[in-house]
Chain A
Amino acid sequence: MSRIKNAFANNNKAFIAFLTAGDPSIDKTEEFIYKLIEGGADLIEIGIPFSDPIAEGAVIQSANIRSLSGGTRIKNVFELVERVRKNTQIPLVFLTYMNTVFKYGTEEFFRKCSETGIDGIIIPDLPFEEKGEIKEPANKYGVDIISLIAPTSENRIKLIAQESEGFVYVVSSMGVTGMRSEIKTDLKSITESVRKYTDNPIAIGFGINSPEQAEKYSKIADGVIVGSAIVKIIEQHRENSGEYLKEYANKMKSAMI
């Protein structure tokens, strides 16, 4: 079984934690990943910082800027993955924008993912129609392409779900990433519709930040993804975020059934 599938095995509701690599430093990101795992994270989503993250709200945008201002390079992010992989078998997925992969050289990028221990990749500006851009090398090097399904996907759900790999990322709300007090989308009907076309686990993300939301959506889906709330903790506590992250992950994971 793949590491990603492992995270959802035996009906485990997966807590998926996102953080931006290099905020505030690569060393600290490594430490924070371990703390999130100690707190109960089942899968870690590592954001490769990008100059123009169009799918991100203000919180993660700022983390991207902080990381890049601190001098983070792609090679540092791969070094981070390599180090983390030596210490844990937790599934690791990248969140990155297409230009990062393209400029690195798509083939070389996925070879490097495989070599360092990345299990999957999420590219918010690569819709189903353009998947051909990465499909061959991603499959060749065994990196799952995690597909996103949005509240507006409707008739596209079948198309996307049928070809999904790893898990399906259901976007909870319109717009960009960021904490939301209320999510209005009918996520139950979307997840039900996704399940008709795939056996892959489903995780819900965008806007989720409270244990109440984690509980609510873990009943509908197989996992929840939290990004901005984690990045916000890092923004507040900087180098000292470790224990806060552990505590937060624990709180969220405990709320999930």
Chain B
Amino acid sequence: MSEKGRYGIHGGQYIPETLMNEIHHLEECYEFYKNDKEFNDELNTLLKEYAGRPSLLYYAEKMTKDLGGAKIYLKREDLNHTGSHKINNVLGQVLMAKKMGKTRVIAETGAGQHGVATATAAALLGMECEIFMGKEDTDRQRLNVYRMELLGAKVHAVTSGTQTLKDAVNETMREWVSRVHDTHYVLGSVMGPHPFPMIVRDFQSVISKEAREQILEKEGRLPSAVLACVGGGSNAMGMFYNFINDKDVKLIGCEAAGKGVDTDRTAATMATGKLGIFHGMKSYFCQDDDGQIAPVYSISAGLDYPGVGPEHAYLRDSGRAEYVPVTDDEAVEAFEYIAKTEGIICAIESAHAVAHVMKIAKNYSKDDIIIVCISGRGDKDVAAIARYRGVDINE
């Protein structure tokens, strides 16, 4: 970080005045708790005993043989409690919010993974919980809505704008501005105003911390590349972070191209976005010539976001990471492929990273290792994939 909350030119704190004291307070609290032994002990216990960490680093032997190139490992965040990497960040933030004296947490959610994780942590730690989810997403992820309700959360279907993830973020921001004294906004990705991109990255960096140790233990060497899907970019930031200083490890983020980057039905921010200032941060955003935020599209509700976290924007600017677009068709094929090949039904988000490894594995030699982050499990997507294939099943 070059200056406070900046990643190169990206980042910052572009938010209403009403939130400024709270965001400064949050920053102070985080700086305290991240070095507080008691907090870290509690969090590590939760991660281990409750969330099931460390997650497995699994050698995908059949995929490796079939794709014919690099040795492929899967970082199994899908095996965490609640079924995705989202729990890593949520346990950290909700535990901290509780210590800060907050009694209520709110969060946005796209696919519902972050909402479910937040509702789970809130139930466990005894906090009131309200989740904001785009109406379109509540329709396509009905199971997750009901899950959140089972966990005691109140789910608001957001009907403003495009009724997807960005609108859910808007509405959660509006709610936070209305009630900040007892409420913490559990932002789900490495985005928004500082210190959120840093907090979420730190809590997610456990993914690469473990993966790096695990691969050194299993193979005695570092991978040639690590892959992760990128919407806002939390699992990718978590997967990249501890490899950033390993210059020979390629970092590849796979973003959702939807129907294709040359169509207007895409969510590929790195491929089609322009520099902008929105949702509290300077970064790349899909937008028109007037700076109106574009209505983005992807089959994946979790990647259906018109921006990307500021540290990713910086990693791209500096050339440290590479970002590639993956279409709906490719992701669905990968979803089916990894199910049949490895017996793993992964999230459609994660399938974007799987799709890319299917393309590039053969370009590597047998001595190379590629780690793919399986950010979540795909139970939530089964009905949607069936519909995509023209099979009408009831959820």
Which A residues lie within 8 Å of B17 (CB)? 124, 127-128, 147-150, 152-153, 156, 160, 171
C-alpha spacing A156/B24, complex, angstroms: 11
Q: Secondary structure at chain B's binding surface: helix, strand, loop or mixed? A: mixed
- Assuming A52-B166, A55-B177, A99-B277, is B292 touching A68 (CB within 8 A)? yes
3 closest Cβ contacts across the A-B interface? A103-B291, A175-B178, A150-B18
Name 15 A/B residue pairs within 8 A (Cβ), A-sorted: A52-B170, A54-B174, A55-B16, A100-B290, A100-B291, A103-B290, A104-B290, A128-B17, A133-B277, A148-B16, A149-B17, A152-B20, A156-B17, A171-B17, A175-B18
Q: In the assembled complex, how far is the CB of residue B222 from the closest CB belonging to chain A, in whole angstroms?
A: 39
Cβ–Cβ contact A152 & B180, under 8 A? yes
Which A residues lie within 8 Å of B285 (CB)? 99
Q: In the assembled complex, how far is the CB of residue B12 from the closest CB belonging to chain A, in whole angstroms?
A: 6
Q: Does B289 belong to the interface (CB within 8 Å)?
A: yes
Which one of A101, A127, A128, A171 has the highest number of Cβ atoms from chain B below 10 Å of its Cβ?
Answer: A127
Q: From residue 259 to 312 of chain B, which have CB atoms closer than 8 A to chain A?
A: 274-280, 285, 287, 289-293
Q: In the assembled complex, how far is the CB of residue A162 from the closest CB belonging to chain B, in whole angstroms?
A: 15
- Assuming A54-B173, A99-B293, A103-B289, is B180 touching A174 (CB within 8 A)? yes
Cβ–Cβ contact B280 & A125, under 8 A? yes
Question: Digit string of A132-161 for contact with B (CB within 8 Å is 1, else 0)?
Answer: 010000000000000111111111100010
Which A residues lie within 8 Å of B20 (CB)? 127-129, 150, 152-153, 156
Question: Digit string of B14-25 for contact with A (CB within 8 Å is 1, else 0)?
Answer: 111111111000
Question: Digit string of A52-87 for contact with B (CB within 8 Å is 1, else 0)?
Answer: 101101100100010010000110000000000000
Which one of B14, B274, B276, B285 has the highest number of Cβ atoms from chain A below 10 Å of its Cβ?
Answer: B14
- Assuming A125-B280, A160-B17, is B274 touching A103 (CB within 8 A)? yes
Question: Digit string of A84-102 for contact with B (CB within 8 Å is 1, else 0)?
Answer: 0000000000000111111
Q: In the assembled complex, how far is the CB of residue B196 from the closest CB belonging to chain A, in whole angstroms?
A: 15
Output the nearest chain B residue to A129 by Cβ-Cβ distance.
B13
C-alpha spacing A193/B275, complex, angstroms: 38
Selected from A52, A65, A152, the residue in CB contact (under 8 A) with B21 is A152
Which B residues lie within 8 Å of A154 (CB)? 21
C-alpha spacing A155/B25, complex, angstroms: 13
Which A residues lie within 8 Å of B276 (CB)? 99, 102-103
Which A residues lie within 8 Å of B291 (CB)? 50, 74, 99-104
Q: List residues of A whose CB falls within 8 A of some B CB.
A: 50-52, 54-55, 57-58, 61, 65, 68, 73-74, 97-104, 124-130, 133, 147-156, 160, 171, 174-176
Cβ–Cβ contact A52 & B18, under 8 A? no
Q: List residues of B whose CB falls within 8 A of some A CB.
A: 12-22, 160-161, 166-167, 170, 173-174, 177-180, 274-280, 285, 287, 289-293
Output the nearest chain B residue to A160 by Cβ-Cβ distance.
B17
Which one of B17, B279, B287, B293 has the highest number of Cβ atoms from chain A below 10 Å of its Cβ?
Answer: B17
Which one of B173, B177, B275 has the highest number of Cβ atoms from chain A below 10 Å of its Cβ?
Answer: B177
C-alpha spacing A171/B277, complex, angstroms: 23
Output the nearest chain B residue to A57 by Cβ-Cβ distance.
B174
Which A residues lie within 8 Å of B178 (CB)? 174-176
Which one of B12, B13, B287, B290 has the highest number of Cβ atoms from chain A below 10 Å of its Cβ?
Answer: B290
C-alpha spacing A54/B179, complex, angstroms: 15
Which A residues lie within 8 Å of B22 (CB)? 152
| 10 more CB-based (< 8 A) A-B contacts, given A103-B289, A125-B277 | A98-B14, A99-B287, A127-B13, A127-B16, A153-B17, A153-B21, A174-B178, A175-B18, A175-B178, A176-B174
Cβ–Cβ contact A127 & B277, under 8 A? no
Output the nearest chain A residue to B159 by Cβ-Cβ distance.
A58
Which A residues lie within 8 Å of B174 (CB)? 54-55, 57, 175-176
Output the nearest chain A residue to B285 by Cβ-Cβ distance.
A99
Q: In the assembled complex, how far is the CB of residue A249 from the closest CB belonging to chain B, in whole angstroms?
A: 27
Cβ–Cβ contact B293 & A124, under 8 A? no
C-alpha spacing A171/B20, complex, angstroms: 14
Cβ–Cβ contact A155 & B21, under 8 A? yes
Which A residues lie within 8 Å of B280 (CB)? 125
C-alpha spacing A126/B16, complex, angstroms: 7
Q: In the assembled complex, how far is the CB of residue B376 from the closest CB belonging to chain A, in whole angstroms?
A: 27
Which A residues lie within 8 Å of B274 (CB)? 103
- Assuming A54-B170, A174-B177, is B14 touching A130 (CB within 8 A)? yes
Which A residues lie within 8 Å of B161 (CB)? 51-52, 65
C-alpha spacing A241/B143, complex, angstroms: 46
C-alpha spacing A228/B342, complex, angstroms: 56
- Assuming A54-B16, A102-B276, A103-B287, is B293 touching A61 (CB within 8 A)? no
Cβ–Cβ contact A127 & B14, under 8 A? yes
C-alpha spacing A100/B293, complex, angstroms: 10
Cβ–Cβ contact A152 & B170, under 8 A? no
Which A residues lie within 8 Å of B13 (CB)? 127, 129-130
Output the nearest chain B residue to A72 by Cβ-Cβ distance.
B290
Which A residues lie within 8 Å of B279 (CB)? 54
C-alpha spacing A58/B18, complex, angstroms: 18
C-alpha spacing A51/B170, complex, angstroms: 11
Cβ–Cβ contact B278 & A52, under 8 A? yes
Which A residues lie within 8 Å of B21 (CB)? 152-156
C-alpha spacing A148/B19, complex, angstroms: 12
Which one of B19, B21, B291 has the highest number of Cβ atoms from chain A below 10 Å of its Cβ?
Answer: B291
Selected from A126, A155, A176, the residue in CB contact (under 8 A) with B177 is A176
Q: In the assembled complex, how far is the CB of residue B244 from the closest CB belonging to chain A, in whole angstroms?
A: 27
Which A residues lie within 8 Å of B16 (CB)? 54-55, 124-125, 127, 148, 150
Which B residues lie within 8 Å of A58 (CB)? 160
C-alpha spacing A243/B21, complex, angstroms: 43
Cβ–Cβ contact B179 & A174, under 8 A? yes
C-alpha spacing A129/B194, complex, angstroms: 12
C-alpha spacing A174/B178, complex, angstroms: 5
Cβ–Cβ contact B180 & A126, under 8 A? no
Q: In the assembled complex, how far is the CB of residue A32 from the closest CB belonging to chain B, in whole angstroms?
A: 22
